[in-house]
Every structure is written in C-alpha cells, then in structure tokens.
Amino acid sequence: MAIDIGIILVELFFLVVLARVAGLICEAVKVPAVIGEILMGMAISNIIIGGSSIFSFLQLSSESNFPIFQVLADLGVIFLLFTVGLVTPFSELRKIGKTATLVATLGVILPFLAGISIIIAFNGSLLEGLFMGAAMTATSVGITARVVKDLGVTDSIEAKVIIAAAVIDDVLGLIVLAMVTGVGKGGSLEILDVAVVAGLAVGFVLAVMYISTLIPKARKLVESRNRAKSRKNLLPTHFSPLPFALMICFGLSALASFLSLAAIVGAFLGGMLFAEFRDIWPCEDQFAPINEFLVPFFFLLVGINVSVSTIFVPETMVLVIVISVAAILTKYIGCGYAARKIGKGSAMIVGFGMMPRGEVGIIIASIALGTGIFPGSLYATVVAMSLITTLAAPSLVAYAYKRKDRLYGRGLRLFKG
C-alpha cells in the first residue's frame, strides 16, 4: 500500500472542516456537537451529487486510505473511553450511595431485557437481541454531564445521582458488552461457551478493579515507609504522565482485545486504573486536545456507515420507533422508580436524565456491525435511537426541572449557555 500523504492531508482537511461546521451549527442551536458530526457523516456518504457521493469525492472509499481513517477513528474512541475512565476513580465509585447504584442497575436490566424481547419479537436472532440489549443499556456520561451543566444545576441532588448512576451504568454496560462481544466473536450460543466468555469478561473487569483498589494502599505504604526513612517520595511528580498513560491505555486495550473483549473495555478500565494517580499525575488536560483531534473522526465514520436507504423501509422505521420508545420508557420507568425515594419531582428528572444513549450505544452497534453480527438496518436503528434519545433528553430534563420548580418553588437558572 503506497501512502500519498498529500492526498491524506486533503482528506483530513475536508473532514476537519465538515466536522467543525456541523459542530458549530449544533452548538448554535444548543444541540450536542456529536449529533452534528453523525449527521454530517450520514450526509457525506448518503447525499448523491452528480451520480456519486461527497464520500467518493473524498476518495475515502478507495482501498488505500480508508483503513487509515478507520484507525484514527478507533484511536479516538479508545482515548475517549480512557478519558471517561480517568474521571471515574474506583475509590470514588464505592462512596456513591445506594440510590445511584439502584438507578444504574434497574436502568441496565430493563433496557437490556426490552432490547432482547423486541428483536426476538421482530424475528431477529438471540445474538442480535443480545447486542441490541447491550446497545440500549449504557447512559452517555458525556451527554448527561453536558445537559446538566448547560442547565446550571450540576450541584443539585438529582444531577449528582444522575452522573453517579451514569458512571456505574457505563461500567455495567461495558461488562454486558464484554460478555456479548465474547459470545459474538465465538459465534456460539452454547451455554458453556457463554459461561466461559462471561467468566473471562467479568474476571478481567474484576481483576483490573481489584488492582485499582490495591494502588491507594500500595501508595500509602510507600509514602509511610519513605517518611520513616525521611527519603524523598519514590513516585516522581515532575515528569509528564502522558506516555505512561498511553502505555496503560494501549496495554489494557490490547489485552482486552486479546481476551476477545472490546478494546474500549480495556481502555475504560485503564483510565479507571490511572485515575488512582490523578492527584500526582493528572492528564485529563493532555487527553482533551488529542480527543478533540481524533474523536470527531469516530462520529463521522458512525454516520458514514449508516445507509439512510435501509431506514426508509417500513419494517425498519417501525423498529426504530419501537426501539426508541422502549429506550425512553425503560430508562424513565426503571431509573425513575429506583429514584422514587428522593421525591416524585426528582425521580422524574432522574428518569429523563438517564435517557441519552449517545456514544456508548453507538460504539456497541459499531462493534456488532464490524463483526458482521448486525445487518445495516439494525446498525442504523441503534444510531437513530441514540440520536433520538440524545436530542429528546435536554428539553425533557429542563421540563422536569421546571415542573419540580413550579411544584416546590425552588429557584433555577434554565438554559444558561
């Protein structure tokens, strides 16, 4: 494969411009930029001008360059999940109250069961059902955090429960993903195989979490020993943590991949592990620009992979509606019920706040598409469901806060950009 860096640079230029234009339009109408990137990707591959799409103008479909963008996109999503893990130290997860755990658990079980049931009711296979269920479980921490921040209610009790539950949701969702990926790669649904894969997945997740819990203890031991001998701290604080973070990220992603799990599961766990060193080696600020460069490629490719013509088949459109309604109701009922103890008005906020699926659902669908488990129509269904739940959440959460405000008279700043 001969590389012409000149052509790749032209393609990079156009993709960065298109992604940013879409993002700016979305930000102007107060919609998350990620929505614009996905829609732009769909436009690139689906809008036909003069017999060919913009996509073929960009030559991305030529055999030589597409894999390069695929790798940039994969690195983007791996870094994204590492960064999500980075703000999720396991030691803090344990401090979170029972309410958040209950909200997260019900918010995973109901959508997962709904996904399996609906796919089987639509004559799909159990494997397709498992992936649809997995894609419906995870709440997007990023989008939820953004919505809460835009409403100016980050320090409210509801917001804290939502964020904490969304984080636990991600962990549970990734465990579900780890299990269904293993099953998908084996291509088998024998009970024994499922058990082995599930065991491997849960074992890997628990092993990394266990190591995470050892780190604070090990650090305390090192520090107290140093103090006793009045030596300098053994852990240096003046070096750049980024290469070390990259090693953990690539190492655990590769290991997860080697264990037939999704690479992003390893990346997330790697981030969680590295979060235990956050006080001396913070590197969120260093990952932010790397993500800003690479992540849009992932969401552009998410859109590029959607064949719009597959959605406009009556059967798929019905499925999109059923799945979206189920995705909204299961989170609303499950999470709202679980949060009923903190008040009726608050439970409604939590129910709506847990709704956006955003990137994690789409990542799961991408894996299912990449491994041949999902046909194009199911992939398009998940993307449509993610777009719908993400677009609906901000206004519903704002409505719920307003309603509670009217009921209980609490002052609230709404829609402060």
Smallest distance from its own copies to CB 195, Å: 23
Q: Does 198 bind its own copies (CB under 8 A)?
A: no
Q: Does 155 bind its own copies (CB under 8 A)?
A: no
In Å, how far are 93, 248, 267, 367 from 254, measured between CA atoms?
Answer: 25, 10, 9, 16
Q: Show the tokens assigned to 107.
A: 């918010």
Q: Does 257 bind its own copies (CB under 8 A)?
A: yes
In Å, how far are 87, 216, 250, 270, 343 from 273, measured between CA atoms?
Answer: 10, 11, 13, 5, 35
Place of tokens 């904490």: 164
At 48, phi and psi to the nearest 5? -100, 120
Q: Does 16 bind its own copies (CB under 8 A)?
A: yes
DSSP string, 75-109: HHHHHHHHHHHHT--HHHHTTS-HHHHHHHHHHHH
Kindly give the residue spans of alpha helices, DSSP state H, lying in 138-280: 141-151, 157-186, 191-228, 242-258, 263-274
In this structure, are residues 99 and 342 in contact, taking their beta carbons and an 8 Å threshold? yes
Task: Rule CB under 8 A: choose which of 242, 308, 325, 342 binds its own copies.
Answer: 242
Binding marks (x or -) toward its own copies, 280..319, rule CB under 8 A? -----xxxxxx-xx--x-----------------------
Binding marks (x or -) toward its own copies, 55..94, rule CB under 8 A? --------xx--xx-xx--x---x----------------
Q: Show the tokens assigned to 194.
A: 């499922």
Task: Rule CB under 8 A: choose which of 91, 213, 237, 240 binds its own copies.
Answer: 240
Smallest distance from its own copies to CB 245, Å: 10
Q: Give the three-class secondary structure for 47.
A: coil
Q: Does 99 bind its own copies (CB under 8 A)?
A: no
Q: Does 234 bind its own copies (CB under 8 A)?
A: no
Q: Which stretch binds its own copies (CB under 8 A): 9-17, 83-91, 136-144, 219-227?
A: 9-17
Q: How many residues in the shown chain lie near its own copies by CB under 8 A?
A: 44
Which of 372, 358, 374, 393 minimizes the C-alpha distance to 316? 374
Task: Rule CB under 8 A: choose which of 218, 247, 280, 407 binds its own copies.
Answer: 247
Q: Does 254 bind its own copies (CB under 8 A)?
A: yes
Where on the chain is the footprint of its own copies (CB under 8 A)? 1, 3, 5-6, 8-10, 12-13, 16-17, 19-20, 23, 63-64, 67-68, 70-71, 74, 78, 240, 242-244, 246-247, 250-251, 253-254, 257-258, 263, 285-290, 292-293, 296
